[in-house]
Amino acid sequence: MDSFSLKGKVALVTGASHGIGFSIAEAYVRAGALLYFNASSEERVREAKKSYEEAGIAAEGFACDVRDEEAVRDMVARIEEKHGAVDILVNNAGIIKRVAMTEMSAEDFRAVVDTDLTAPFLVAKAVLPGMIRKGHGKIINICSMMSELGRETVSAYAAAKGGLKMLTRNICSEYGSYNIQCNGIGPGYIATSQTAPLRERQADGSRHPFDRFICSKTPANRWGTVEDLQGPAVFLASDASDFVNGQILYVDGGILAYIGKQPE
């Protein structure tokens, strides 16, 4: 089982101050990695550091806007100065704006694309030279079911995540010969603080309509948890996945494979 170990590996997880990113970062430290993360402000870095410390996890954070190429280059340079090239990059930072396409401003559309697609390009671009010099590397992009499907009010998010899927495949194509693997994880509907309002009981005690809808569309008949993503994330970051490249691993309880129940 040594091939699943991350002992001594340098990992950078973007947007890992909470939720999915925090859970993946936690799993990497448990597997032996040296962890770095970023957040959008010094205050969020301090809050995240406190959460990591409470969980017994050693981590170092940077206040870095991953949409800012100069700031990203500086963050990666500081990591390399301390511990050498980044072995594992997880592009997790992202946003969503749920607005009907005809009502969405171009500014909001660009903000989502800049964060969910351009930023992963910038961070991957910054770590790739070090990975090439080192002779290996793992890049994991957090994609989405919206890399495959459309839905009302998420035109910008779906466009960005669809693009991120293709960026994943192109990094594989362009840098696979350097022993660099780039894959994606496509989470299903995950129970986090952001999705909590969609799972709250209604005033009459009934389940939220969206909660019922998601469970009915998922063969596992439940929401995913952040812990469900830890094993796949460790696998794709480890030597066990050295011949896996350009793939998107959907961790969705089977929702993408399922046409849904026949109406009664």
Is 229 contained in some domain?
A: yes
Instruction: Read off the CATH number of the domain in which 185 is found.
Output: 3.40.50.720
Please tell me the pTM assigned to this model: 0.96
> Catalytic residue numbers?
157
Is 210 contained in some domain?
A: no
What does each of the 264 residues of the chain score in pLDDT, given as a tens digit?
899 999 999 999 999 999 999 999 999 999 999 999 999 999 999 999 999 999 999 999 999 999 999 999 999 999 999 999 999 999 999 999 999 999 999 999 999 999 999 999 999 999 999 999 999 999 999 999 999 999 999 999 999 999 999 999 999 999 999 999 999 999 999 999 888 988 999 999 999 999 999 999 999 999 999 999 999 999 999 999 999 999 999 999 999 999 988 777
* Structural domain containing residue 229: 2-190+224-257
pLDDT for position 243: 98
Is 195 contained in some domain?
A: no
Is 202 contained in some domain?
A: no
Is 180 contained in some domain?
A: yes
pLDDT for position 197: 87
pLDDT for position 193: 86
Is 206 contained in some domain?
A: no
Is 54 contained in some domain?
A: yes
DSSP letter for each residue of the chain: -GGG--TT-EEEETTTTSHHHHHHHHHHHHTT-EEEEEESSHHHHHHHHHHHHHTT--EEEEE--TT-HHHHHHHHHHHHHHH-S-SEEEE---------GGG--HHHHHHHHIIIIIHHHHHHHHHHHHHHHHT-EEEEEE--GGGT---TT-HHHHHHHHHHHHHHHHHHHHHGGGTEEEEEEEE-SB-STTTGGGGPPPTTSPPPHHHHHHHHH-TT-S-B-GGGGHHHHHHHHSGGGTT--S-EEEESTTGGG---PPP-
Is 205 contained in some domain?
A: no
| Domain count across the chain | 1
